Amino acid sequence: MLRRFWLLFAQAVTVLLALMFIVVTLKPQWLQRQGQFGKQLASPIVALREVAPGSGSGPSTASYADAAQKAMPAVVNVFSGKGGAQPPNPHAKDPLFRYFFGNPKNPQQQQPQDEPATNLGSGVIVSPEGYILTNEHVVDGADEIEVALPDGRRTNAKVIGVDPETDLAVLKIGIPNLPTITLGRMDQARVGDVVLAIGNPFGVGQTVTMGIISALGRNHLGINTFENFIQTDAPINPGNSGGALVDVKGNLLGINTAIYSRSGGSLGIGFAIPVSTARSVLESIITTGSVTRGWIGVEPQDVTPAIAESFGLEQRGTIVAGVLQGGPADKAGIKPGDVLLDVNGEEITDTTRLLNVIAQIKPGTQAKVKLMRKKKEMDVVITIGKRPPPPKQANTEDDNSDAQQEE
């Protein structure tokens, strides 16, 4: 019995030694892992660097979360219903769809729509009383306007007034506890400053994009009558119209209004109406229901190098190409061919500058105009008139236009 037990013991030891030999020969790391098992529980397999708890995103990191969280609650979605318009069917170009349901272009085969088409844009709540700034082209032709706040509340909005010449509109809603945005200062804005664009691009939901101020005072774009745009490379896309352009502290710097694009998408050149212009339009509309601007009744033209050479002029100021009979300029004695040099001491560099300077003068007041006539400088006094409203233009799209307003 003892001999049999010893034989079994010897065989077991032999098998264990054989297994040990195989492990040592073929998998020696198994033995190392077994020996360091306790150490592995206390330390990682490899040395890794990990941020300390609570030291992630904070004031010392390049984050604009605080600015975004400050401004986003005041940026709303604007839904403008267009009476009688029908939304295009997404399957209208599908041959199989037309085979079964007919050609949507045939009015007899169109199915009536329960709801009118909506045009999605953005807006900015600027006062606790419910005043909202947005673009005029967002609400143009709208029968009903609805506003959706980021907190989920929805309500109808009333159009207080519009200003097509700056593409601004003022809406008003009547719900309590409204978040408002803080107005920034354009005199402190500089090219190179970081800015955030907030809106609802392509209807995907409220979105924040980041860029810098690329230029200030952009004009001659052919977008509005009065142009003094902030140019930015913060991505702005359709649906951002009327949204906010804010600084790194969340203060409003401008109202996003247009992009430079040949395809309809953002190419890194967007334009916003400065908050200084927006505030002036807002206050005028709230006070009088419209925007009142100065006007002198002339047809100005830039003094180009060719004109300056032909008439022997210095390349400065703006030349009067025509004078409206009976207008303020005509009554003051201004004639075609005169070159306007400055108004109330403000230098006139081009037609855009002339329009902006005259527009800021209150109608009924007198302005001193320095002009050049037959190479002689002279001063005239003009009683500023009230700028007539612009004629209503048909709402057409130019597919070849580079500067496009967002819808």
CATH assignment of the domain containing 127: 2.40.10.10
Domain count, the chain: 3
pLDDT-flagged residues of the chain (< 70): 1, 27-45, 48-61, 81-119, 261-266, 391-407
pLDDT score at 129: 93
Closest CA to 276 of 346, 188, 403: 188
For 302, the token pair is: 């830039």
Structural domain boundaries, residue 73: 65-172
- Claim to verify: residue 77 and residue 168 sit in the same structural domain: yes
Helix (H) or strand (E) holding 347: strand 346-347
- Claim to verify: residue 300 and residue 314 sit in the same structural domain: yes
- Claim to verify: residue 136 and residue 225 sit in the same structural domain: no
Distance spanning both ends of the chain, measured CA to CA:
99
pLDDT score at 240: 85
Annotated active-site residue in 241, 247, 266, 338:
241
Active site residue 137: yes
**pTM score:** 0.69
pLDDT score at 113: 43
- Claim to verify: residue 287 and residue 302 sit in the same structural domain: no
Residue 17 lies in a domain: no
Annotated active-site residue in 140, 163, 167, 338:
167
- Claim to verify: residue 299 and residue 361 sit in the same structural domain: yes
- Claim to verify: residue 159 and residue 237 sit in the same structural domain: no
Helix (H) or strand (E) holding 164: none
pLDDT score at 316: 78
pLDDT score at 43: 57
- Claim to verify: residue 72 and residue 164 sit in the same structural domain: yes
- Claim to verify: residue 164 and residue 199 sit in the same structural domain: no
Instruction: With both helix axes pointing from N to C terminus, report the angle between 2-26 and 28-35 in degrees, rounded to the nearest 10.
Output: 100
Annotated active-site residue in 122, 137, 140, 233:
137
- Claim to verify: residue 73 and residue 120 sit in the same structural domain: yes
- 91-129 pLDDT, tens digit per residue, is 454 444 444 444 544 444 443 444 444 657 899 999 999
Question: Burial, 80: exposed, middle or buried (Cβ in 10 Å; 0-12, 13-18, 19+)?
Answer: buried
- Claim to verify: residue 168 and residue 79 sit in the same structural domain: yes
Beta bridge partners of 252: 183, 246
- Claim to verify: residue 302 and residue 208 sit in the same structural domain: no
Closest CA to 262 of 403, 396, 395, 407: 403
C-alpha distances in angstroms, 226 versus 183, 287, 325? Answer: 21, 21, 24
- Claim to verify: residue 286 and residue 194 sit in the same structural domain: yes
Q: How many angstroms separate the CA atoms of 57 and 54, rounded?
A: 8
For 358, the token pair is: 């005259």
Q: According to the 3-state scheme, what is the secondary structure of 312-376? A: CCCCCCEEEEEECCCCHHHHCCCCCCCEEEEECCEECCCHHHHHHHHHCCCCCCEEEEEEEECCE
Specify the 3-state DSSP secondary structure of 308.
helix
167 phi/psi in degrees, rounded to 5:
60, 45
392 Rama sector, left if φ>0, alpha if ψ -120 to 50, beta otherwise: beta
Residue 394 lies in a domain: no
Question: Cβ distance 130 to 173 under 8 Å?
Answer: yes
CA 208 to chain centre: 10
Question: Cβ distance 116 to 85 under 8 Å?
Answer: yes
